[in-house]
Every structure is written in structure tokens, then in C-alpha cells.
């Protein structure tokens, strides 16, 4: 019981530390959110005011913006640990490394994914999305953005400290992100066609469970190889 409580305290300590680092670098942490809002706002400006066109491309545009902004924020997941030597401490920690990686992914999602969710209803208004479409979009983001962070942890663990890591990270992760993007936009399209989005949301749930099961183990193995 004491070992489990020690692991819980270690995970909470990691989450608290990472969120504190984010709060100390607010301008850098706000960049992905600003990028998300700017990219999502460009689509209505470029395509014009036709409400049918905006409603049709709205879920896809918001999801593409969320995916790109997540890519922009991923390097911060392990880069500060590399710079201050904390990665070595994680590797030497007696607690299971995959669980500690999962805690860092949770902190990353709280700092990036959660603000995207809070901003999405405002962005949905400029596309003229209905309440049902907006609700489905939010559900897809709730299921999809944690999977983006989990898969991103694997890519970051493989490329942390490398030159040109940003480009390499994008090349590694975009093929893995495509199924999430396809099912997420498919859920929004199903609602607009008057169909139930449950099949697409179920697939997103399955992808999240798969990422939650395998990604921390893969990221921990990549960190051990690097160490």
C-alpha cells in the first residue's frame, strides 16, 4: 500500500512540476493555443460567408488546427527534462517508468488539450455549427486529443535532443495521427448527414484505449534506449 501511495505522490508531483513550468513560461505555453485559434479562424475568412460551406468544413478545420497545434507543443514534453537533467532522475526512479511517462502526458494534455477544448465552442460559432455538431466535435476532441498526446510522447522520446527534431517528429507522427483525424472528422460529417456518430466515436475510444495501453510503454523504452 505504501509503495502504491508513493507512486501516486510521484505522479502528482510530476504533474504539478510540469504545470508549474508551464505557468512560468506562459508566453511559450500560449503559442499552441494562439496557433490553434489563428488557423481555425483563417478558414472562414478564406472560404467566405456561405453558411453551408462553413458548416461542412467546420469540424475538419477545427480538428486539423488542433492536430497541428498539438504537434507544435509536443517538444516541451521532455525537452525541459533533458535540459535540466531530470530525464536521468526519471530513469533512476524506483517507480515504473511507463506510469511516470503517463503522468507527464497527463500534464501535457492539461496544459494544451484542455485549453483547446475550452476554446472550441467559440470557434464553432464562427462556422455556424449546430449544438449537436458542436457537442459531437467536443466529444471527439475529448477522446482524440489525449491520444494525440500519448502518441506524441513516443515520438518526442525518440527524437528528444536531436537536431531538427521538430521536422522529424512531424514525419514520425503524422501517419499515426491520420486515423484519429479520419474518425474524428467522420463523426462530425455523420451528424451533418443526419446519421449517428457513435461508430466513429467508438473507434476513437478504441484508439484512445490502445494508445493508453501501449504508448507509455513505448515511450519509456525509447527513453531508456536514449539514456
Cβ atoms within 10 Å of 180's Cβ, excluding its own: 23
How does pLDDT run across 17-36, given as a tens digit for each residue?
888 888 887 777 788 899 99
pLDDT confidence band for 76 (50 / 70 / 90): confident
Which of 198, 179, 202 shows the shortest CA–CA distance to 190? 198
> Angle, nearest 10°, between helix axes 165-192 and 131-159?
160
- What pLDDT was estimated at residue 44? 87
Residue-wise pLDDT for 117-130, tens only, equals 999 999 999 999 99
Residue 154 pLDDT greater than 80, yes or no = yes
Per-residue pLDDT, 4 = 64
Residue 224: what pLDDT?
86
Q: Among candidates 57, 33, 77, 64, which has minimal Cα distance to 178? A: 64
Q: Which phi-psi region, left, alpha or beta, contains residue 181 (left: φ > 0; alpha: ψ -120 to 50)?
A: alpha
- CA–CA distance, 22 with 33 (Å, rounded to integer): 13
Burial (CB count <10 Å: 0-12, 13-18, 19+), residue 166: middle
User: 122-125: which pairs have CB atoms within 8 A and are 24 or more residues apart?
Assistant: 123/37, 123/40, 123/41, 123/62, 124/58, 124/62
CA–CA separation, 213 vs 40, rounded Å?
31
- CA 114, CA 108: separation in Å to the nearest integer? 9
Tens digits of per-residue pLDDT, 185-208? 999 989 988 899 999 999 999 999
Amino acid at each position: 500500500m505504501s509503495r502504491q501511495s508513493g507512486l501516486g505522490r510521484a505522479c502528482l508531483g510530476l504533474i504539478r512540476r510540469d504545470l508549474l513550468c508551464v505557468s512560468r513560461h506562459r508566453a511559450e505555453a500560449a503559442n499552441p493555443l494562439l496557433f490553434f485559434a489563428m488557423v481555425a479562424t483563417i478558414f472562414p475568412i478564406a472560404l467566405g460567408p456561405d453558411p453551408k460551406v462553413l458548416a461542412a468544413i467546420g469540424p475538419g478545420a477545427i480538428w486539423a488546427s488542433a492536430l497541428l497545434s498539438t504537434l507544435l507543443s509536443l517538444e516541451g514534453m521532455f525537452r525541459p527534462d533533458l535540459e535540466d537533467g531530470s530525464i536521468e532522475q526519471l530513469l533512476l526512479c524506483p517507480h515504473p517508468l511507463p506510469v511516470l511517462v503517463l503522468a507527464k502526458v497527463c500534464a501535457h494534455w492539461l496544459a494544451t488539450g484542455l485549453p483547446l477544448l475550452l476554446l472550441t465552442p467559440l470557434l464553432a460559432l464562427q462556422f455556424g455549427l449546430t449544438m449537436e455538431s458542436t457537442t459531437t466535435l467536443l466529444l471527439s476532441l475529448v477522446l482524440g486529443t489525449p491520444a494525440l498526446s500519448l502518441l506524441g510522447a513516443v515520438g518526442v522520446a525518440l527524437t528528444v535532443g536531436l537536431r531538427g527534431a521538430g521536422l522529424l517528429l512531424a514525419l514520425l507522427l503524422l501517419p499515426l495521427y491520420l486515423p484519429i483525424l479520419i474518425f474524428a472528422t467522420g463523426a462530425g460529417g455523420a451528424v451533418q448527414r443526419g446519421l449517428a456518430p457513435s461508430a466513429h466515436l467508438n473507434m476513437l475510444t478504441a484508439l484512445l484505449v490502445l494508445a493508453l495501453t501501449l504508448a507509455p510503454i513505448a515511450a519509456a523504452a525509447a527513453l531508456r534506449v536514449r539514456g
